[in-house]
Structure 1
Amino acid sequence: MSDSRRARLDTPRDTRRQIVRRPSVDADTFGVFAESFARYMGTAKFLLWMTMFVAIWVLWNVLAPRELRFDEFPFIFLTLMLSLQASYAAPLILLAQNRQEQRDKVVAEQDRQANARAHADMEFLAREVASLRMSVGEVATRDFLRSELRGLLGDIEDLQRQEPANETPPTPGEPAPRSAT
């Protein structure tokens, strides 16, 4: 007997037998079906169809001759049908709600991450603006330069007014006269 067929005493035998194979169901496909079913059950169209179904059922079993009625007892079969529909609808609606809850969790997590990134970006931009404000404080602005140039122009005009009026300015190419001071 080979080693693979030999019974091992330290490993318990599997006493369960699989008589019927479990059907494999694609959870996503079934979930999509459950969501579409739950969506349809929440519409006015479904309520109208269900109301018409129950009304026809009741009217047929009240007004039809006794031989043609299919629900002989007072609407026992109708109650059974509605209970069966509700017993299938409830788990499908719960499945659809669970799938929606999972999607909402994913969206909430993505929103949280986006908010965290936006917060980090805002903090970075705030730091950048603060550093720009600090560096602009050290840079000569246009208004500062204008005021300095106006001050220098005023000084030049004051110097020109203080010079004697009789001196003529030198002509180009001629050396300026030296003052006797």
Structure 2
Amino acid sequence: MRNLIVICLLWCCASVSGQNVQEMENTSIYQFTVKDITGADFALSDLKGKKVMIVNTASKCGLTPQYEQLESLYNTYKNQNFVIIGFPANNFANQEPGTNEEIAEFCQMNYGVSFPMMSKISVKGDDIHPLYAFLTQKEQNGVESSEVSWNFQKYLIDENGHLDKVIDPKTLPTDQRIISWIEQ
């Protein structure tokens, strides 16, 4: 009888532990695979252990010069378990009308962007990308709800793939609050 109780306890603990792991995965970005700017799969689970900044970008926006600071930030911290992922989006005033190829060329020629850029998506509305639905809905991310208010809104993701902070579009990528977050 005692062996049966031990077996039941072990089974129950394993079930609860497995459920907790699944719940943690469901509140992390690791559940998503997106397309990079060339159309290849990019599994966000490959970023485990890294801090991540997810930013929606646009080529014809007053905030477009932030690409330069994003690139500088990326080059400074990319060898310290930090990555930036850009998601071009045309949700605001038609400021990202180009194709993925045009966007990639623009980013490279004008700003030397070397951080990962993804395929163009929608970051709000009826056709919101599932990753952005996750980032903006507390029911999914477990932290807070937000609305993408403009181009270059930043989502800071901790080393476990969980949403940590939402940063306003006008806040520069080199703002001390962001630098402190990366370095902590």
Instruction: Identify, as 1 or 2, the structure richer in helix.
Output: 1
Q: TM-score normalised to the size of structure 1?
A: 0.21
Question: Which protein shows a greater Rg?
Answer: 1
> Which is bigger in relative contact order (C-alpha 8 A, separation at least 6)?
2
Q: TM-score normalised to the size of structure 2?
A: 0.21
Instruction: Identify, as 1 or 2, the structure richer in strand.
Output: 2
